[in-house]
Structure 1
Amino acid sequence: MPTIVIRYVHWVERWNKRIGRMAMYLLFVLMAVLLWGAISRAFWVPLRWTDQMGQFILAGYFMLGGAYALQMDSAVRMDVFYSNWSPRTKALVDAITIFALLFYLGVLLWGGVESAIYALEYGERKSGLWRPYMAPVKIVMCVGNVMMLLQCTVFFIRDIATLRGQKI
């Protein structure tokens, strides 16, 4: 494999690992927000922002941690035949099927970017009493989607290297 391709693979994996490790701590932020919402409901006046903020934090946690989960092979896989295959056969099947995932993520990114642009142009807000702006969470979702797309290209490059008998 060319040096630039190897550098690309290492750069994407390093970037996704850093962002994914930081996104893990969003779970603690989510727990604090939901705990504060539960305590305020029990003892004071219910806060209107905690439930929607929890949804936003969970979306960020899920989307920013997705590429890291893929990288760590934490994603769920139907493992009926796959576990019995040789590494070369796994690489061949993965190299072919990755295009379905790339297409799905590409369509998801396209819709996400259009939705984020709309939210920015028109100042879109979520309905309800708190009415937070939607643009930040939509931008975070687009960033997470790009990270997953980049990680999938890394998978494809690694599969091609495995088929060639090389290691990255």
Structure 2
Amino acid sequence: MLSIIRSYVRAVDALNRFTGLVTMHLIFLMIGLLLYSSISRTLFDTPVNSVVTISQFLMSAYYLLGGGFSMQENAHVRMDLFYSRWSSRRKAGTDAFTSIFLVFYLVVLMIGAISSSVYAVKTGQATRTLVPYPLAPIRIIMTIGIFLMLLQATSAFFKDLAKARGVTL
């Protein structure tokens, strides 16, 4: 059983690392798009109306697809009142316990994301902007991002549980 969990943890960590490293580069695309918009508006007096909407989509994809990688790298915000003084085994036990709540939250979020994605695809839901962009792609990206974070949360749970027991995965 330990080898199956070890394989799962390695596969999920590799998937989220790859996704996070690729997703990191979306910020440069967004910066380039906003810079283009700024230059075209200032120098040529031709505003690009859809830049804000596209930038919001890119930022959403950046945030959602990078969640699992951020969790893997411990780059998220943590309330550290007592935590830093604890032993690494106690930290791991506490993290394993709180991971259960995170997984529950992500499952509920995943159900909502799937429902929202299906609705956007079925109805052809679009933005209410000058150019009506379809919302289905960003909703699907949202669902994928939440799924990746759910996978990473379960991976972190297994790693923390093993660490709390004194075993290394």
TM-score bin (small chain): over 0.9
**Secondary structure of 1:10's aligned partner:** helix
- In the TM superposition, what whole-angstrom CA distance separates every residue of 1:89-141 from its partner, at most 9, and x where no partner exists? 11111111112211221111111111110000011000010110000001001
How many residues matched?
168
Bigger drift between 91-100 and 9-18 goes to 91-100
TM-score, normalised via structure 2 length: 0.96
- Does 2:95 match 1:77? no
8 Å CA contact 2:89, 2:165 repeated in 1: no
5+ residue gaps in structure 2?
none
8 Å CA contact 1:125, 1:134 repeated in 2: yes
5+ residue gaps in structure 1?
none
8 Å CA contact 1:37, 1:51 repeated in 2: no
- In the TM superposition, what whole-angstrom CA distance separates every residue of 1:1-60 from its partner, at most 9, and x where no partner exists? 621110100000000000000000000001011111111221232111100000000000
Residue in 1 that maps onto 2:117? 116
Write the distance in 1 (CA, Å) between the matches of 2:31 and 2:7.
Answer: 37
Equivalent residues in 2 for 1:4-153, closer than 5 Å: 4-42=4-42, 43-153=44-154
TM-score, normalised via structure 1 length: 0.97
- In the TM superposition, what whole-angstrom CA distance separates every residue of 1:58-109 from its partner, at most 9, and x where no partner exists? 0000011111011001001011100110111111111111122112211111
Identical pairs, percent: 39
AA of the residue aligned to 1:74 = A
8 Å CA contact 1:12, 1:151 repeated in 2: yes
AA of the residue aligned to 2:82 = F
**Secondary structure of 1:73's aligned partner:** coil
- Give 4+ residue runs of structure 1 displaced > 4 Å after superposition: none
**Secondary structure of 1:33's aligned partner:** helix
Write the distance in 2 (CA, Å) between the matches of 1:19 and 1:45.
Answer: 36
Write the distance in 2 (CA, Å) between the matches of 1:119 and 1:36.
Answer: 30
